[in-house]
Amino acid sequence: MDLKYIINQYFPSKRVSDVSIFGNGHINSTYKVKLDGISQEYILQRINTNVFTSPNDLIQNHLKIQSHLYSQKQNIEVPELVGRNSKSHLYIDEDGEAWRMMNFIKDSYSIEVLENENQAFEAGKGYGWFLGACSQLDTSEFKEAIKDFHKLSNRINQLNDAIKSNVVNRLVSVQDIIDFYLKRVKSLLEIEKLIGNSEIPLRVVHNDTKINNLLFKDEKAIAVIDLDTVGPGVVLNDFGDAVRTLTNTAAEDEQNLELVNFNIEAFESFAKGYLQQTRSILNQKEKELLFKSPILMTYIMGIRFLADFLNGDIYYKTNFDNHNLVRSLVQKRLIEQMEQNQDKMKQIIKDIN
């Protein structure tokens, strides 16, 4: 694959001065692009079409968000897609790979592990702003990029399929971890019922609010990125997944589990920022259940990593043999610690409300 050739499809009259692998995403392949004589930099991405089978849907969803949010910028923004000669925004190369280009958010950086509580508050404001800004959009306008993405029963079925198939013979090594997760299914499925009967409403949500999908500049949240999964979902997905990643004192794939601890101060700061932006939008039931969502989302990620480990690492990018297993163990440890802190988390949300 000739990256310069692909960049040329977007900027036919420009010379590429630099293109390099960038970021830490688990799904797409991301490159930072510099062009001669232009200070604006760009992000080029190869969309993972094993995961996103209809890349054009992603483009359409992104354009919808981009044009809607353009009028609502509040020092926070989303990246803008670059069109090809005012034609399509998507480029399909000769091998059938799907590409897109967007502006690099100037002077920005993403973080993997929270460094201070102000970042948690800023993350709350950033993702809260996103929910608020999307609140006038109708869920029916969006294509669901991955069906039943955060539906627990769907993820349980996938784990059970992986257990049954045991394609790479890894089952015996993880039986106790499977037991840990399966023991908790029943109580977590209660939340799915509330979603099913619309007590928890469907909204346009981000659906992938890990901390590195937010960009900072000078310690302020300035952009929400990775819009691939934006579409129908519930607020618990966004609140819970952000808490999962930013309250973890270590990396999502930390091998020394003793370093993995739940930071309740970060939880409180995030919740303050989030509710500052969304208090007037959320209903009573949503607010009441926020405190439970981190366990739900950490659980969902924990079983997704575990299923991928059992399936032979076919979904997430991995860098070492047991990478997905390590990720799942990190989620397990976080769940244990969140369980111990449930009462405190409930009280914190109540006090902020």
Which positions lie near ligand ADP, rule CB under 6 A? 22-28, 30, 43, 79, 102, 104-105, 108, 110, 212-213, 215, 225-226, 228
Contact 236, 202 (CB under 8 A): no
The nearest distance, CB 242 to ligand GN1, in angstroms, is 11
Size of the site for ligand GN1 (CB under 6 A): 12
The site partner of 22 among ligand GN1, Mg ion, ligand ADP, none (C-beta below 5 to 8 Å per kind) is ligand ADP
What span, in angstroms and rounded, lies between the C-alpha atoms of 118 and 122? 6
Sign of CA dihedral 137, 141, 143, 144: positive
User: According to CB under 6 A, which residues from 191 to 220 bind ligand GN1?
Assistant: 208, 210, 213
Partner touching 23 among ligand ADP, Mg ion, ligand GN1, none, CB below 5 to 8 Å by kind: ligand ADP
57 CB burial (10 A radius; 0-12, 13-18, 19+): middle
Tokens standing for residue 158: 């996938």
> Which residues touch 140 (CB under 8 Å, ≥6 apart)?
none
CA distance 18 to 338: 44
Out of 10, 16, 25, 102, point to the residue binding ligand GN1 (CB under 6 A): 25
Smallest distance, ligand ADP to C-beta of residue 79, A: 4
Best CA proximity match to 128, nearest among 280, 338, 247: 280
For ligand ADP, which is the closer residue by CB, 48 or 311?
Answer: 48
Minimum Å gap between C-beta 30 and ligand ADP is: 4
Q: Measure the CA–CA gap between 302 and 321, rounded to whole angstroms.
A: 17
Among 6, 7, 16, 26, binds ligand GN1 (CB under 6 A): 26
To the nearest whole angstrom, how small is the minimum distance from the Cβ of residue 28 to Mg ion? 8
**Spatial distance between the Cα atoms of 59 and 226, rounded to a whole number of angstroms:** 12
What 8-state DSSP symbol labels residue 173?
Answer: G
State which of positions 13-32 bind Mg ion (CB under 5 A).
25
Residues at the contact surface with Mg ion, assessed by CB under 5 A: 25, 213, 226
- Residue numbers of the site for ligand GN1 (CB under 6 A)? 25-27, 51, 208, 210, 213, 226, 228-229, 252, 301
